[in-house]
């Protein structure tokens, strides 16, 4: 899902874009309408001037007094034209030269505005009106070329478009800055949550905006409740395990003391069950420490920790000469609980050391997940069986002899971290291969 900032920015940007588009259309249309309205008013004034300037002679022919006529109507193709129609007679301005205007068929008393092409590809606006003077019906048509005003309007539109785009970009930048500042408290909470997860702080700071204060309060209360519940669970499991250990120790002692009175089968069965219960108890104690993703995570440098583990485990098997090859970036690190990672890697390395003949390969890389594989050159006979056991959900220490307790602990921890542990036969060494995947 997109972040709040990106969604707000997209919505505000879209609204600004729509607003500027509507404003551009309104201004562009408005300036054109205002210009043409002004021209129409001027043409109406010129019609009234023409009406004043014309009269009729003794033969009822139209006579126009030139002193009332603007000289622009006398210059050929000046862009200003008129036509006066009386019956079948028509008087045209000299500016029309040999051209004619397309006049409306029916002329009423009201002014009629039309558009038409004119001489030399001019674009004309034509205003027509009918009058009665000296008991004679006449119609006056006057036109003006719109090309200059439209060129001016188009130039204005270009400048206005550039100005609008510039203002839009400025407003988007201002909006971005405002959003960044406005959402800064959320980023602070996000940062504090990471610190809380790593264990750098015990709770979130309450110095936040009023709108976020209830959220921070609830998170702090939830974190405190989870920590208390986790502590109670750990304490209860620890107490239970320690309580079981005491009678187990007594049973072991009695078994050893009464060994002469017990037959071999009974003694072996008793020792086996006591040892199994001790392993289960140890397992419970280890599981009591594991808190999965709610743990306080710190940076775990894989290469450095592996070197220490390899040295420690090699001392546990002094009779073996195992060559260990590590294939990973020395700077590879992950934020996680160190003890859990040492438990996982220690158990898997111990298992590899137990079955290896002479070589172990450790490979690790980080993509969207942390991927680690540990391979040995042992027999690898039980790799498929171990995988089947995990798929069925059976505990490893209950299913396959020699592979159980350490791998079972590792499997439990990895499962708590929402990761995966898979077993197979190594293609490189022919032995056992364990593959770990954890969220990075």
Tell me the average pLDDT of the chain. Answer: 81
Q: The CATH number of the domain where 394 resides is what?
A: 3.30.565.10
Is there a single domain that holds both residue 418 and residue 310?
Answer: yes
Structure tokens at 324: 């260990």
pLDDT: which is higher, 185 or 271? 185
Structure tokens at 98: 């040999």
Residue 317 domain flag: yes
- Only one residue has tokens 């004043």, namely 52
Structure tokens at 171: 């407003």
Is there a single domain that holds both residue 261 and residue 343?
Answer: no
pLDDT tens for 142-163 read 999 999 998 998 999 899 999 9
- Calculate ∠ Cα 8-14-18, nearest 5°: 145
Of 131, 151, 171, which residue constitutes the final position of a domain? 151
Q: The CATH number of the domain where 106 resides is what?
A: 3.30.450
Q: The CATH number of the domain where 247 resides is what?
A: 1.10.287
Is there a single domain that holds both residue 272 and residue 298?
Answer: no
pLDDT tens for 283-299 read 666 655 554 444 456 78
Is there a single domain that holds both residue 11 and residue 123?
Answer: yes
- The pLDDT confidence band at residue 222, using thresholds 50, 70 and 90, is confident
pLDDT tens for 355-398 read 899 999 999 999 888 999 999 998 876 655 566 545 544 444 44
Is there a single domain that holds both residue 48 and residue 135?
Answer: yes
- The pLDDT confidence band at residue 86, using thresholds 50, 70 and 90, is confident
Residue 112 domain flag: yes
The alpha carbon torsion through 190, 366, 368, 223 (nearest 10 deg) reads: -30
Helix axes 4-53, 147-182, angle to 10 degrees: 160
Residues of the chain with pLDDT > 90, as a percent, come to 17
Is there a single domain that holds both residue 125 and residue 55?
Answer: yes
Is there a single domain that holds both residue 57 and residue 108?
Answer: yes
Q: What is the pTM of this model?
A: 0.49
For 321, the domain range is 294-439
327, 364 Cβ separation under 8 angstroms: yes
pLDDT at 424: 86
Number of domains in the chain: 3
């Amino acid at each position: 899902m997109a972040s709040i900032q990106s969604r707000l920015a997209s919505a505000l940007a879209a609204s600004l874009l729509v607003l500027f588009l509507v404003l551009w259309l309104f201004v562009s249309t408005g300036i054109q309408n205002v210009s043409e309205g002004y021209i129409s008013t001027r043409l109406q004034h010129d019609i009234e001037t023409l009406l004043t300037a014309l009269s009729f002679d003794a033969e009822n022919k139209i006579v126009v007094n030139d002193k009332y006529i603007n000289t622009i109507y006398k210059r050929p193709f000046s862009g200003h034209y008129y036509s006066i129609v009386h019956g079948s007679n028509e008087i045209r301005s000299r500016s029309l030269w040999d051209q004619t205007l397309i006049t409306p068929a029916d002329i009423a008393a009201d002014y009629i505005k039309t558009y038409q092409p004119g001489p030399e590809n001019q674009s004309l606006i034509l205003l027509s009106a009918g009058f009665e003077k000296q008991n004679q019906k006449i119609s006056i048509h006057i036109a003006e070329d719109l090309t200059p005003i439209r060129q001016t309007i188009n130039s204005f539109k270009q400048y206005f478009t550039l100005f609008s785009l510039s203002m839009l970009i400025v407003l988007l930048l201002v909006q971005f800055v405002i959003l960044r500042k406005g959402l800064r408290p959320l980023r602070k909470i996000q940062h504090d949550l990471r610190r809380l997860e790593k264990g750098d702080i015990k709770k979130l700071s309450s110095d936040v905006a009023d709108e976020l204060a209830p959220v921070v309060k609830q998170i702090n209360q939830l974190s405190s409740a989870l920590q208390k519940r986790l502590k109670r669970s750990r304490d209860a499991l620890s107490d239970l395990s320690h309580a079981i250990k005491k009678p187990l120790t007594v049973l072991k002692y009695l078994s050893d003391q009464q060994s002469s009175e017990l037959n071999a089968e009974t003694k072996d069965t008793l020792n086996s069950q006591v040892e199994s219960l001790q392993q289960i108890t140890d397992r419970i104690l280890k599981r009591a420490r594991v808190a999965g993703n709610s743990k306080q995570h710190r940076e775990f440098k894989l290469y450095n920790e592996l070197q220490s583990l390899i040295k420690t485990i090699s001392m546990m098997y002094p009779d073996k000469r195992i060559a260990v090859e590590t294939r990973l970036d020395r700077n590879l690190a992950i934020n996680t609980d160190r003890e859990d990672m040492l438990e996982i890697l220690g158990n898997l390395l111990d298992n590899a050391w137990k079955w290896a003949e002479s070589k172990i390969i450790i490979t690790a890389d980080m993509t969207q997940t942390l991927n680690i594989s540990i391979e040995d050159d042992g027999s690898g006979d039980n790799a498929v069986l171990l995988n089947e056991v995990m798929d069925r959900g059976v505990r490893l220490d209950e299913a396959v002899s020699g592979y159980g307790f350490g791998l079972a602990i590792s499997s439990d921890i990895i499962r708590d971290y929402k990761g995966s542990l898979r077993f197979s036969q190594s293609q490189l060494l022919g032995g056992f291969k364990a593959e770990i995947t954890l969220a990075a």
